[in-house]
Amino acid sequence: MDNIVKLGAIGIITGIVNGLLGIGGGTILIPAMIFLLGEKQHKAHGTSLAIILPTALVSTLIYKYNNYLDLNLSLKVASGAVIGGYLGAKLMNKLPAKSLKKLFGVFMIVAGLRMVF
């Protein structure tokens, strides 16, 4: 039962942050899966992407409903993002978990600092 509560809390927090800020998959799910659920680094990254898809779809529909979606811009950026996602997933398979963890941590720090300043 404790695990169900933990999973539900992670999901709800991820969904709220995703809908409110447009982030949540990597920033919340990966650390939560590693530190709270004991998942391995690579598995947490892959699993977070599968969770992001339905979360992003629901949030996107709400943003579209409120006229906060530029579909043309989305399609242009998504075409490059698909290629980048493929390359990133291939690269992730070549990185040891320790290096991936450090790279993720540096990215989180840089992203956080850019948001604040």
- 22-39 confidence digits (pLDDT tens): 876 788 999 999 999 999
The confidence score (pLDDT) of residue 42 equals 93
Q: Are 41 and 101 in contact (CB under 8 A)?
A: yes
Give mean pLDDT, residues 6-25.
87
DSSP-assigned states of every residue in 35-70: IIT---HHHHHHHHHHHHHHHHHHHHHHHHHTT---
Domain count, the chain: 1
pTM: 0.81
Structure tokens at 52: 């992001």
CA atoms lying within 13 Å on the CB side of residue 81: 6
Q: Are 51 and 30 in contact (CB under 8 A)?
A: no
| 83 pLDDT higher than 90 | yes
Q: Are 39 and 117 in contact (CB under 8 A)?
A: no
Burial class (CB in 10 A: 0-12, 13-18, 19+), 18: buried
The confidence score (pLDDT) of residue 1 equals 60
Alpha-carbon span 108 to 111, nearest angstrom: 5
Q: Residue 84 belongs to what domain range?
A: 2-116
